[in-house]
Structure 1
Amino acid sequence: MDNRHFIARRAARYFHSGDVVNLGIGIPSLCGNYAESGVLFQTENGFIGVGATAQGIEISDRLFNAGGIPYLPALGGCAFDVAKSFGIIRSGRMAATVLGALQVSQHGDLANWATPDRAFGMGGAMDLVNGAKQVIVAMELCAKDGSPKLVKECTLPYTGRRCVDHIVTERCVIDVTPEGLVLSELRRGHSVEEICSAVEPPLIVSPELKEMEEDC
């Protein structure tokens, strides 16, 4: 299993049957492949009950998620307009959202929509990080150039402040707590020292540090 799917599978373990969950683009969008039965996925452009990715003749020009990916509706799915969609997001009824990140700070601040040379617009992320009960970041631990994405303070434009609950990476799981960042799970083949050297903030090593599951 490649790192992207490994991260998505672990992040999906936070969902439970009956939850309504929003998935961001990129790695988060893969979480739907690993969620337990009964989890309902929502897309900001107006649907609860997003199912598998549509292929070939299954594709309908009426069923695309907010990232432009065609999908099949799940049994019992419901469509509505964008205004109602964001009303649901802002109501606090969403169990979780999974988002990618460019940076996460030691306080759980999130920056995920712009860099000095590229700005895409944050889309619904600003509403999601304030409306969802859990905010889960699914990302690789370091940027492509090896620089840390888990930083003391974000230097890129904020999406939300003190909003992140869990950070799932290809090497570890880190929880954001009032006491600080807690290293709670570690992938086989990696060490605590390696993780601590790859991030800027100090980490608290959980006394119940677990090994991340490799097999389905």
Structure 2
Amino acid sequence: MDKKEIQSFIARRVAYELQDGDVVNLGIGLPTLVANYVPEGKSIMFQSENGFVGLGPTPAEELMDPYITNAGGMPVTIIPGGAFFDSATSFGIIRGGHVNLTVLGALQVDEKGSIANYMIPGKMVPGMGGAMDLISGAKKVIVAMEHTAKGSPKILNNCTLPLTAKNQVDMIITEMCVIEVTEKGLLLTEINPEFTIEEIQSQTEAKLLLAENIIDMTHHFKK
């Protein structure tokens, strides 16, 4: 798979974690693609920290409205019942615990569920944005990311970059597998059949625990 296919694959799998009626926040980058794969029959209200609920799928180029964007500045649509409001209200929703699920990208995640996703020392960054609030305020935190960066593991024993939050991630979904963060460690629950467990472990610094029944992560797509 090329990079675009990998990102679409991850986003499609993440979408099956959405529950009917959820309020969901999608981080910038790969997570925004999740809105394009909401399973049929589920009603999801997407929230964006720039002051917006009711995000819909990415519009066709000829239908893009420059005034309707997500927090990353990318064009989106608005569904019936959606609304715009100020930043204070938006963060009141997040900090008040009204977001059921947030999906974020990451530079690193470790075996305790800590996440580093906003800066690499020595490089220019726009800032942490709303990530810190989202991770602490959302009921469930999913990291959606490519499994490695230039061949180096991103799932580590301990994060080496500045932390966005400590011990807050609940699930990690990559193009290789689905991992649940538990008190005992990282539990491998689903794998992409294109990879073996041995291959996944070799690309993961942290030790992976194996679920009793590891399933094919693509089985969701066949429902």
Shorter chain as denominator, the TM-score bin is over 0.9
1:24 pairs with one of 21, 27, 46: 27
Contact 2:36 2:58 (C-alpha < 8 Å) held by counterparts: no
The residue number in structure 2 matching 1:124 is 130
TM-score by length of 1: 0.95
Deviation at 1:70, TM superposition (A): 1.6
Equivalenced residues, count: 215
The residue number in structure 1 matching 2:145 is 139
TM-score by length of 2: 0.92
One-letter amino acid matched to 2:14: A
Q: Does 1:58 align with 2:71?
A: no
Residues 56 and 183 (structure 1), Cα distance of their counterparts in 2 relative to 1, 3 Å cut: closer
Deviation at 1:57, TM superposition (A): 4.6
Matches within 5 A, 1:9-158: 9-36=12-39, 37-118=42-123, 119-144=125-150, 146-158=151-163
1: distance between equivalents of 2:153 and 2:186?
A: 15
Deviation at 1:179, TM superposition (A): 1.1
Deviation at 1:192, TM superposition (A): 1.1
Deviation at 1:71, TM superposition (A): 1.7
Matches within 5 A, 1:1-12: 2-12=5-15
Bigger drift between 115-124 and 26-35 goes to 115-124
The residue number in structure 2 matching 1:178 is 183
Bigger drift between 191-200 and 178-187 goes to 191-200
Match of 1:64, SS state, is coil
2: distance between equivalents of 1:139 and 1:33?
A: 17
2: distance between equivalents of 1:116 and 1:32?
A: 31
Deviation at 1:6, TM superposition (A): 0.6
What do residues 72-105 of structure 1 show as CA deviations (whole Å, max 9, x unaligned)? 2101112111100000001111110100000001
What do residues 125-184 of structure 1 show as CA deviations (whole Å, max 9, x unaligned)? 00000011110000111112x111001111101111101000000011111001110000
Identity of counterpart residues, as a percentage? 50
1: distance between equivalents of 2:58 and 2:203?
A: 35
One-letter amino acid matched to 1:84: T
Q: CA RMSD for the aligned pairs?
A: 1.4
2:195 pairs with one of 170, 190, 194: 190
Deviation at 1:23, TM superposition (A): 0.5
One-letter amino acid matched to 2:119: A
2: distance between equivalents of 1:112 and 1:203?
A: 21
Match of 2:218, SS state, is coil
